């Protein structure tokens, strides 16, 4: 029997935000690839978008140029050393420096003049900032997977309580949002997320033991940060997106499928009760989903060429190889268990990917570290991760355990 869409679970991405004529933005992660694309969208629509807050990691040189160009009212960086470097370089007068780390992110995201917060920072540091922005009734444009993977229930409950829209920026979830727009949710049976397959598509598990970080960072279609590019190579990126889709759209794990689509033209699809499938197609350019989130519920002209279907040629689809890429199955396992296991999955993955990028473990050790950490997890009293403190406690345990397990698999050099 075909599963039915969970109409009892509200979709926080379907809330329609209201804005004044000029939308005032805070961008968390402004020096990353998503942040830079977001600022390109601001440049294209300077009459509609204004940058009020910027937060960045440790690239003080680029951040100084951004602060000088966009003159936000408030700015923050990840560390004190980065902030000191920013002060040495110099930046536009009149910009308030909000601080560093999580406190800086919270200050930027919750600034009273901000209407919409783009969360494009990597990792889990922006979780408190997203919740602070929701409490201030600011629309969230979400490009960070970890926020919902770690604390999906907490974040979506807060968004529903405050009537706040969470607008997905990931191309796949953005595509689903577009396919669902204005549609009766009772008509929906399945969400289909597309994946490029990464640089190792078609390779058997036995062919992956010797691949290097340099090999894994050669993504065939998207230009992204290092961590998310490795996640794409292992298919963990798609696994995290499955968990994200559950929270964004209120669907069960068995209502979310993944197909490999190497051309990355079809960004995702929705299956209706009569078997019809609605798809969203577009260029492989993150400016499009970012602009959609910034303009929603309106659509603006994009200064990009139209998609040329004839030039795109053949569109291929195939099932993912979960034997060669077991991370996708681990994500489904975590979602089926729900509660604290997605927190463990995410933390162990971050540890394993960092070790791989540093050359300390092999590519195929990444899913082994994650699986062993998940196996070692006994939920206990923190199983429901109902508070931020509980989420952080499980996250700390998982990171420590994953570090121990990764050490056991460390390459001999």
Q: What is the pLDDT of residues 273-289, one digit of tens each?
A: 999 999 999 999 999 99
Q: Point out which residues pair with 260 in neighbouring strands.
A: 195, 318
Q: What tokens were used for 37?
A: 């694309």
Domains of the chain: 17-164 (3.40.50.720), 173-312 (no CATH), 339-408 (1.10.1740.10)
- Chain centroid to CA 287: how far? 15
Distance in angstroms (rounded) separating the CA atoms of residues 164 and 191: 23
Q: Count of alpha carbons within 13 Å of 133, Cβ hemisphere only?
A: 36
CA distances for 247 relative to 29, 189, 241, 256, angstroms: 23, 16, 10, 12
Distance in angstroms (rounded) separating the CA atoms of residues 344 and 172: 24
Contact 187, 272 (CB under 8 A): yes
- Of 336, 398, 395, the closest CA to residue 371 belongs to 398
pLDDT by residue, tens only, the chain of 413 residues? 333 333 333 466 667 776 667 999 999 999 999 999 999 999 999 999 999 999 999 999 999 999 999 999 999 999 999 999 999 999 888 999 999 999 999 999 999 999 999 999 987 889 999 999 999 999 999 999 999 999 999 999 999 999 999 999 999 999 999 999 888 888 999 999 999 998 999 999 999 988 998 999 987 776 777 888 999 999 999 999 999 999 999 999 999 999 999 999 999 999 999 999 999 999 999 999 999 999 999 999 999 999 999 999 999 999 999 999 999 999 999 999 878 999 999 999 999 999 999 999 999 999 999 999 999 998 877 778 999 999 999 999 999 999 999 999 987 53
What residues contact 74, with CB distance under 8 A and at least 6 apart? Answer: 52, 53, 54, 95, 96, 97, 98, 107, 108, 111
Distance in angstroms (rounded) separating the CA atoms of residues 167 and 281: 18
Give tens-digit pLDDT for 80-120.
999 999 999 998 889 999 999 999 999 999 999 999 999 99
């Amino acid at each position: 029997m075909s599963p039915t869409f969970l109409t009892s679970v509200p979709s926080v991405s379907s809330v329609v935000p209201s804005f004044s004529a000029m939308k005032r933005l805070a961008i968390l992660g402004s020096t990353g690839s998503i942040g830079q694309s977001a600022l390109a969208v601001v440049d294209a629509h300077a009459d509609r978008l204004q940058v009020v807050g910027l937060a960045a990691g440790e690239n003080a040189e680029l951040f100084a140029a951004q602060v000088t160009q966009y003159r936000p009212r408030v700015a923050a960086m990840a560390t004190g050393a980065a902030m000191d470097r920013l002060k040495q370089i110099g930046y536009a007068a009149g910009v308030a420096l909000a601080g560093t780390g999580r406190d800086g992110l919270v200050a930027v995201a919750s600034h009273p003049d901000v209407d919409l917060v783009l969360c494009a920072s990597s990792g889990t540091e922006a979780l408190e900032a997203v919740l602070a922005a929701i409490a201030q009734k600011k629309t969230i444009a979400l490009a960070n997977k970890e926020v919902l993977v770690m604390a999906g229930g907490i974040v979506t409950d807060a968004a529903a309580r405050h009537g706040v829209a969470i607008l997905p920026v990931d191309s796949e979830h953005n595509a689903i949002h577009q396919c669902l727009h204005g549609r009766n949710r009772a008509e929906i049976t399945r969400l289909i997320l597309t994946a490029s397959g990464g640089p190792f598509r078609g390779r058997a598990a036995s062919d992956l033991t010797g691949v290097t970080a340099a090999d894994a960072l050669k993504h065939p279609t998207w230009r992204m940060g290092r961590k998310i590019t490795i996640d794409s190579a292992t298919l963990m990126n798609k696994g995290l997106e499955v968990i994200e889709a559950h929270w964004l759209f209120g669907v069960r794990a068995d209502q979310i499928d993944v197909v490999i689509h190497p051309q990355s033209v079809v960004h995702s699809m929705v299956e209706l009760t009569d078997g019809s499938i609605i798809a969203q197609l577009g260029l492989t350019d993150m400016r499009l989903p970012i602009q959609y989130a910034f303009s929603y519920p309106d659509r603006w002209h994009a200064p990009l060429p139209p998609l040329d279907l004839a030039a795109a040629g053949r569109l291929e689809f195939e099932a993912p190889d979960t034997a060669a890429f077991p991370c996708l199955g681990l994500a489904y396992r975590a979602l089926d268990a729900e509660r604290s296991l997605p927190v463990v999955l995410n933390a162990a993955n971050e540890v394993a990917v960092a070790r791989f990028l540093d050359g300390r473990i092999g590519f195929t050790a990444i899913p082994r570290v994650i699986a062993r950490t998940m196996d070692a997890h006994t939920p206990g009293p923190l199983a429901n991760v109902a508070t931020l403190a509980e989420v952080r406690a499980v996250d700390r345990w998982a990171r420590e355990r994953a570090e121990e397990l990764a050490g056991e698999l460390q390459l001999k050099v």
